[in-house]
Amino acid sequence: MTTRRQFVGAAGLLALSPALAHHGWSRFDTSRPLFLAGRVVAASWRNPHAEFDLELPTDAALPADLRRRRLPDQSAPIDGAQLLAQAELPRRRDRVWKVELAPLSRMRAWSVPEIKPGDVVEVLGYTFAGESGDPVLRAEYVWVGGQAYGLRSSPV
């Protein structure tokens, strides 16, 4: 009986582990948009969402044209111009950040090309409050090959 109970408990924990590892929007500080740019060093193009590891340059800076960039409309009420105006660099100095994108169905809806190691990418998104924990950024917008894609919702 104890062995069966232990097995059921362990199976329940294993079933929960993917959900615990996945970060929902509520865990991110959406009041402080961050901008990252760099070279992709690893990428995973699968559900629950695509993601990549982005290596930042040692001399990271906000692009001079960032506030003037045109962003695509999304079906969610996102004020992209306001996010660009508020964007800042992270305070922490990690060289590599994990960037979480959207589910593959949304990536396809936006026609985002598959991001691969070696690609140069820019991203605007959010990290955890106080930049605590691992260096993770949840992407609101991503630029691939100079093209901007919205990721919170569907294209309009």
Residue position matching structure tokens 């001079």: 64
30 occurs within a structural domain = yes
6 occurs within a structural domain = no
155 occurs within a structural domain = no
Task: Say how many domains are in the chain.
Answer: 1
Q: 41-52 pLDDT, tens per residue?
A: 999 999 999 999
How far is the C-alpha of 101 from the C-alpha of 125, rounded, in Å? Answer: 10
What value does the mean pLDDT take over residues 101-105? 96
Across the chain, what does the average pLDDT equal? 88
5 occurs within a structural domain = no
Asked if 123 and 36 count as a contact pair (C-beta separation under 8 A), the reply is yes
Least confident of 13-22, 51-60, 97-106, 146-155: 13-22
Look up the CATH number of the domain holding residue 116.
Answer: 2.40.50.140
Does residue 35 surpass a pLDDT of 90? yes
Confidence label for 22 from pLDDT (cuts 50, 70 and 90): very low
Q: What is the pTM of this model?
A: 0.83
Element (H, E) at 8: helix 2-21
What value does the mean pLDDT take over residues 126-142? 96
As beta bridge partners, residue 139 has: 125
Does residue 98 surpass a pLDDT of 90? yes
18 occurs within a structural domain = no
Q: Which domain holds residue 49?
A: 24-150
11 occurs within a structural domain = no
pLDDT at 27: 82
29 occurs within a structural domain = yes
1 occurs within a structural domain = no
φ and ψ at 143, to 5 degrees?
-110, 120
